[in-house]
Amino acid sequence: MIYFDSDYMAGAHPKVMERLLKTNHLQTVGYGSDDYTKHAAELIKDACGKPDARVYFLTGGTQTNATVIDGLLAKHQGVLAAESGHINVHEAGAIEASGHKILTLPQHEGKIWASELKEYIENFYNDDTYEHMVAPGMLYISFPTEYGTVYSYEELKEISDICNKYQIPLYIDGARLAYGLAAENGSVTLKDIAALADVFYIGGTKVGTLFGEAVVITNPTLLKNFFPLIKQHGALLAKGRLLGVQFEALFEDNLYEDIGLQVVNKAIRIREIFKSKGYKIAADSPTNQQFICLPNHIIDQLMPNVSFELWGPRGKEETTVRFVTGWTTTDQEIETLAEILDKL
């Protein structure tokens, strides 16, 4: 069986695992006060070009989103997000559980439009009853989005400008950030993200760590009491250095960037294989998630040997499926996929 279900099916990248092994017996203080964690934070600040940023390490994506958003919002505020945003769909109400409404914007292949963001905010303040409504207190976007798409630099800049104008922090969910930075024809760098976002996180779980997300706070006025909030959200890892050690591995020797590039290249190769065989590409994704529209009989023939996800419910004749590559995906697996398709 070859697996293209998701990018979090295996453990850690060998270089990450090696460091965990090497440091396993060392004794350090807990909760992220150790030197590994401090060093990892320095490496990240360097990579971001933000020497004054603050960096915190949490365990998972939903946890990170819930903690950051809870910290950024005042009690009467909600968070703007695309209807398809992860926080709005697949986090089991974690944002609302901390007391805040998600204010939805239309999604366009997973992205929001700056124009619709602006319109939402302006309509809100033009409404005489706005004090009876939930105020837009921040913006959440994901990069890449839940549909594998990415914003161009210009799009991000325009969004960021609107956020600045209305003094609404911009928070970027970077669960798959490495794949967004390595996007085919992409124009956004890590330094761009750090310059445009007020807060963002660099996802580790889907890019080679066992677990772990690095929150980068570039706007010094925000999240001033983030540590107790991490604890309050049950998001403080006792053996905090495990996060530091893993992110050290990712941010030394360009490993994070390298994984991003390799994994995206493999996904593009898969898309081209399907395309060359005449299958319909369901959404034009430049990152490590590819959406293909396959006839149901093809799906049935693939399933015994190839593992992948149906994207939405089965259609009558054809169904959209998702192929995801990860750091474990090998060229050999992709060739095997191509051969299987050849034989159908």
Q: Which of 37, 54, 71, 270 binds a second copy (CB under 8 A)?
A: 71
Amino acid making up residue 146: E
Q: Catalogue the long-range contacts made by 42-46 (C-beta closer than 8 Å, 24 or more residues apart).
A: 43/247, 43/248, 43/251, 43/252, 44/202, 44/214, 44/216, 44/247, 44/251, 45/216
With contacts defined by CB under 8 A, name the span among 69-77, 166-174, 182-190, 317-325 that binds a second copy.
69-77
At 152, list the tokens.
């161009």
The smaller minimum CB distance to a second copy, of residues 97 and 344, is found at 97
How far, CA to CA in Å, does 211 sit from each of 24, 27, 208?
Answer: 16, 21, 8
- Shortest Cβ 154–a second copy spacing (Å): 30
Q: Which of 37, 59, 218, 320 binds a second copy (CB under 8 A)?
A: 59
Closest CA to 291 of 324, 339, 329: 324
Partners of 139 in beta bridges: 80, 170
**Sign of torsion over alpha carbons 191, 197, 202, 207:** negative
Partners of 142 in beta bridges: 173
Site string for a second copy, 268-307 (x = CB under 8 A): ---------------------------------------x
At 256, list the tokens.
């994070």
Q: Which of 159, 210, 270, 292 binds a second copy (CB under 8 A)?
A: 210
The smaller minimum CB distance to a second copy, of residues 176 and 271, is found at 176
> In the chain, at which residue ranges do the beta strands (DSSP E only) sit?
2-3, 54-58, 77-82, 102-105, 135-142, 170-173, 199-203, 213-217, 280-283, 289-295, 306-307, 309-310, 318-324
Site string for a second copy, 3-22 (x = CB under 8 A): x-xx-xxxxx----x--xx-
Secondary structure class of 296 (helix, strand, coil): helix
Told to check if 51 binds a second copy by CB under 8 A, we report no
Site string for a second copy, 175-194 (x = CB under 8 A): --------------------
At 148, list the tokens.
């594998």
Residue partners of 64: CB distance under 8 A and separation at least 6: 58, 201, 213, 215, 235
| Residues from 156 through 175 that contact a second copy (CB under 8 A) | none
Q: Which of 126, 167, 185, 221 binds a second copy (CB under 8 A)?
A: 126
- Shortest Cβ 123–a second copy spacing (Å): 8
With contacts defined by CB under 8 A, name the span among 90-98, 180-188, 258-266, 287-295 that binds a second copy.
90-98
Residues counted in the chain: 344
The smaller minimum CB distance to a second copy, of residues 28 and 301, is found at 28
Q: Which of 15, 36, 84, 102 binds a second copy (CB under 8 A)?
A: 102
Q: Which of 181, 183, 242, 270 binds a second copy (CB under 8 A)?
A: 242
The smaller minimum CB distance to a second copy, of residues 59 and 160, is found at 59
| Residues from 305 through 344 that contact a second copy (CB under 8 A) | 307, 313, 328
The smaller minimum CB distance to a second copy, of residues 24 and 185, is found at 24
- Shortest Cβ 305–a second copy spacing (Å): 14
**Sign of torsion over alpha carbons 109, 8, 207, 80:** positive
Q: Which of 39, 49, 96, 153 binds a second copy (CB under 8 A)?
A: 96
Secondary structure class of 331 (helix, strand, coil): helix
Q: Which of 45, 50, 84, 91 binds a second copy (CB under 8 A)?
A: 91
With contacts defined by CB under 8 A, name the span among 46-54, 154-162, 227-235, 253-261 that binds a second copy.
227-235
Rama region for 201: left / alpha / beta (φ>0; ψ in -120 to 50; rest):
beta
| Residues from 132 through 151 that contact a second copy (CB under 8 A) | 132-135
